[in-house]
Amino acid sequence: MDSIKDKVAFVTGATAGIGLACAKALAAQGAKVTVASRNKEKVDATVDAFIRDGYQARGAVMDASDTDTCINAVVDTIREMGRIDIVVNNAGGTDMRRDTAVENLDLAYFHDVMNLNVLSTLATIKAALPSMIARKSGSIINIASIGGITGDFRDTYYGIAKAGIINLTKYVATQYGKQGIRCNAVAPGIIMTGAVTDNLPEAVRQIFREQNALDTLGQPEDIAATVAFLAGEGSRYITGQTIVVDGGMTCHNPTIAQIRALYS
């Protein structure tokens, strides 16, 4: 539990949802957390709230769509904190109105989704590596999605991007393991963050719940607990892996719900 105490952590998209839960989980275990996100007011408010709760925190404004800001936020963290031990690449997503099935895709939008998800992840990792290599230690955790493992009827670019993050994770693990650096991904299923609850009608939630092996929907803390585990010493022999945290959405044959109904 004490293995990340006073470690320097950097979490993107950390003012809401999964990123906020990850930042809190790391801070609650004593890490010095950089809350990195797009909106300065929200970053400041989150850092203030963390400090009020007795956590060690500082803020960084960055936009995952803008590579230079990703690099600068990491470089500033290293300059101010003296090092970086844990990087959580969480900021990401897509615009479902533009990210359609293949036949309707705007090919130009491809680059936006890749920049937001893959290039931002690559950029923060590249910026953090020199400090981690110098200390022969580091844990990088990338937030992917089950959308990077399975197919969907829309969100084509998102799926490609999250698959890219999953394999980037393996490349970083392969290239830097001998230097004491681990890199893992977490692939969430449906998680009840604002992004989801604002857009998900009750009927759709019900479908997700029925298709999950467990009878629950995920909470941001479910991802944060896995991220905190991957950040600490308890996972010291795990690298290059993608941990699926999806309530059992993808562990079974998709025909199960209908076949079960036929036999019950």
- Residues within the interface to ligand NAD (CB under 6 A): 12-13, 15-19, 37-39, 62-65, 90-93, 116, 143, 145, 188, 190-191, 193-196
Cβ at position 98, least distance to ligand NAD in Å: 15
Catalytic residue from among 55, 109, 157, 158: 158
- Least distance between ligand NAD and beta carbon 69 (Å): 8
Residue 126 CA: distances (Å) to CA of 39, 53, 111, 213: 23, 32, 19, 38
Question: Which tokens hold the place of 120?
Answer: 């931002």
**Token pair recorded at residue 54:** 């007795």
> Is 158 one of the catalytic residues?
yes
Closest residue to ligand NAD, judged by C-beta, is 17
Q: How far is the CB of 84 from ligand NAD (least distance, A)?
A: 18
Q: Closer CB to ligand NAD, residue 86 or residue 143?
A: 143
**Any idea which residue has 């959580």 for tokens?**
88
Give the CA count within 13 Å in the CB-facing half-sphere of 55: 24
By C-beta, is 6 or 39 nearer to ligand NAD?
39
In the complex, least distance from residue 130 CB atom to ligand NAD, rounded to whole angstroms: 23
Reduce the DSSP state of residue 108 to 3 states and report it. Answer: coil
- Other beta carbons less than 10 A from residue 158's beta carbon: 22
- Rounded to the nearest 10 degrees, the angle between the axes of helix 156-176 and helix 120-135 is 10
Q: H helices within the chain, ranges in order?
A: 17-28, 40-52, 67-81, 109-114, 120-135, 156-176, 194-197, 202-211, 220-231, 256-263
The angle formed by the CA atoms of residues 92, 98 and 104, to the nearest 5 degrees, is 135
Q: At its nearest, how many Å lie between ligand NAD and the CB of residue 166?
A: 12
**Residues tagged active-site:** 158
